[in-house]
Amino acid sequence: MVDLLKSYLGIEPADDPRRMREKLTGKLLALDETLRPTLPALAALLELPVEDAGWQGLAPAMRRRATLDAVKRLLLRESQVQPLLLVLEDLHWFDADSQALLDALVEALPTARLVLVVNFRPEYQHGWGSKSYYSQLRLHPLPPETAEGLLQALIGDDPSLGALKQRLVESTQGNPFFLEESVRTLVETDALVGEPGAYRLAKPLQAVSVPDTVHAILAARIDRLAPSDKRLLQAASVIGPEIPLAVLQAIAGLSDEAVLDGLGRLQAGEFLYETRYPPNPEYTFKHALTLEVAYRGLLHDRRRELHVRVVESLERLYAERLAEQAARLAHHAFRGEAWEKALLYLRHTVTEAERSSLDAVLGGPESPGTLWWTGEHERAVTVAQRELAIAGTFKSFGMTVVANCRLGQAYHTLGDYARAAELFRWGVTSLRGDLERELFGMAGLPSVYSRAWLAWGLAERGEFSEGIALGEEAVEIAVAADHPYSRILAEFGLGTLYLVKGDPERARRLERGLVVARVAGIPLAVPFVGAPLGLAYAWSGRFADGVRLLEEARQQAASMNLIANQSLRLTWLAEAHLAAGEVERAGEPAGQAATLATQYGERGNQAYARRLLGEVASVRQPPEPGPGAAAYRAALEQARELGMRPLAARCQLGLGVLLARAGDREGARVELDAALEACRALGMPHWLARAEAAAREAGL
């Protein structure tokens, strides 16, 4: 889009910032004085200094929206003066901002004198198919006679080439890029000698090897490069389709001179082309497949290291304009598994989930998934049980899998962790081998779903070792399947387990789930991973970050009418406030949590909320020992009833501290001794340390 704008404004590579600003202002105001408010956004897009106070005061998300609106307004206004033909190539490489602008332009086309021509690879997804003003032309491989014509131009008509041409046409099936790369390979391996358009066969035809796929050809060509050139090409593939020279020099591990020499050789071999000239040169790959093959040739650790270097390079090069580079920085931080940085640059990407997307994930208005989502847990149980019965009657394994997951989820939220565990164990044992990667119509892999929810449920019962093993299995399956929604589920289950265990550092693996949710554009998953991560941050001393994430999760859940476990998210929010020493701010969400948990029958969450009410009462100034002790005892009784041993230990710890402050040394001793014993037995070092400190402070 920047290149398009520069072309429209007549900006040349030699233009300095003053000249660029003159062209921008002159062109815009000559077109329409009412476009003046768009000047700051367009100047920022062109990387010109912007001194406008209003622009400087905008949040990054608002700047992004203003920039998209400015480009759209400019193009639509120009189309009123003269018809426009707008050509956008390679949509499969578009970043999120360019895609958002394209979508906005598509919606405006019926009333604009604008023809939009785009091209993209088959895997690119769009929502324009139903538009009456959209037409698609599929580009088919070349027919044999045309492919032969291309070969004639590439290699000539020497008599020795007849059988080779026929073989190339058949093996490449008329794909012109495949044909070009095949010829280039034959030249590089000395099977063909001569000049372009005038080659001759230098080896017997039976000795000539033509790889079966264009991927294999490209991989072989890359392997034949000098080691330093191969490393340079692979480093370029990590940066992406657009390769700023400054970034490549920063990550390649070569001298600047060696980088330039290598780029010259890669251009000569037509791996790369130069697309922007000094003072800020950029390069791109000749073809998307070249980038993909070069990238796949990197080992995982090397790939991750290079992505992190790209982040560091971009942070140095754009230190004053990081908000404008947020999408690129987030992409490389994600690929480099720098989870905290990825979250930093993805902070402004949270959006609301559309009703249609929720129905697709949950199964429709009267499905057990939707009933659970909206807090009708008992109805969800009834409907899921009915669907299990129907599945048994019709011997539908897929329907059994889905109903089993939904029934286990509903029982878990009702606090029946034992019954939920039985259902999820069936999913774990039944979905192995090839079935691990079957979706059965669900948004996430049921094999991962079962393990993730079972890991959480086992954590509530104190069975951490088995839960950790299942959670790690879930992550392995999701990563191997390269399935974003399942990866979020897996990190949610394992991260929440560590939170229940009282291990905030390991619970921070939830960052991975939150990053994937935002990168993959799955807003409905944000509350599930964002809320427990917020509490992990608060327990680690990052109080502001923790409260912010929890508030975002609460608001996101409310915007989607996600009632299930909202009581738990409110409890965690109150806990974060308490961790920050904000006792009064903890009271309101704690009370709301208890009310919601009771209203929707979420008994486990009700126990959590009651324990928190006890803690709030015990730390108020002055303390309220009577209400506090009553809340702790009610939570303890409920936790024991539900088999929630970790929560019971925390209730006894809190009650022991409260009784010690109230002067009841014997009562405090009983509760703290029980808490110490339980924390040791369950392997909860965080809470064990808290219990030991409380006992010392009480002189017990």
**152 and 112 together in one domain:** no
Q: What number of other Cβ atoms are within 10 A of residue 212's Cβ?
A: 9
Residue 6 lies inside a defined structural domain of this protein: yes
Residue 411 lies inside a defined structural domain of this protein: yes
**7 and 75 together in one domain:** yes
Which parts of the chain sit beneath pLDDT 50? Answer: 350, 356
112 DSSP assignment? S
Residue 697 lies inside a defined structural domain of this protein: no
> In 3-state terms, what secondary structure has residue 352?
coil
**478 and 548 together in one domain:** yes
Among 540, 564, 588, residue at a domain's last position: 564
Start-to-end CA distance of the chain, whole Å, equals 70
Residue in 286, 260, 297 with CA at minimum distance from that of residue 184: 286
Taking only the tens place, the pLDDT of each residue in 305-340 is: 999 999 999 999 888 777 767 778 888 998 898 988
- The rounded distance, in Å, linking the Cα atoms of 189 and 203 is 10
> In 3-state terms, what secondary structure has residue 46?
coil
141 DSSP assignment? P
**188 and 101 together in one domain:** no
Longest dimension (CA), the chain: 106
**510 and 398 together in one domain:** yes
Query: How would you label 255-271 residue by residue, b for 16+ Cβ within 10 Å and e otherwise?
Result: eeeebeebbebbeebeb
Angle value at C-alpha 500, between 369 and 523, nearest 5 degrees: 40
Handedness of CA 631, 632, 633, 639 (dihedral sign): positive
Q: Residue 229 in contact with residue 266, Cβ under 8 Å?
A: yes
**111 and 171 together in one domain:** no
**411 and 527 together in one domain:** yes
Residue in 512, 516, 513, 495 with CA at minimum distance from that of residue 504: 495
Number of folded domains that form the chain? 3
pLDDT value, residue 1? 78
Consecutive H or E run containing 199:
strand 198-201
- The rounded distance, in Å, linking the Cα atoms of 76 and 310 is 36
**20 and 162 together in one domain:** no
**81 and 212 together in one domain:** no
Among 523, 538, 564, residue at a domain's last position: 564
Residue 666 lies inside a defined structural domain of this protein: no
pLDDT value, residue 348? 55
548: domain CATH number is 1.25.40.10
- The rounded distance, in Å, linking the Cα atoms of 295 and 235 is 8
**541 and 424 together in one domain:** yes
Q: Which domain holds residue 56?
A: 2-118
**61 and 154 together in one domain:** no
pLDDT value, residue 350? 47
What the block records as the tokens of 569 is 């998210």
What angle separates helix 2-9 from helix 17-31, to the nearest 10 degrees? 80
- The rounded distance, in Å, linking the Cα atoms of 230 and 220 is 11
Among 217, 248, 272, residue at a domain's last position: 217
> In 3-state terms, what secondary structure has residue 244?
strand
Radius of gyration of the chain (CA): 31
pLDDT value, residue 12? 86
**48 and 165 together in one domain:** no
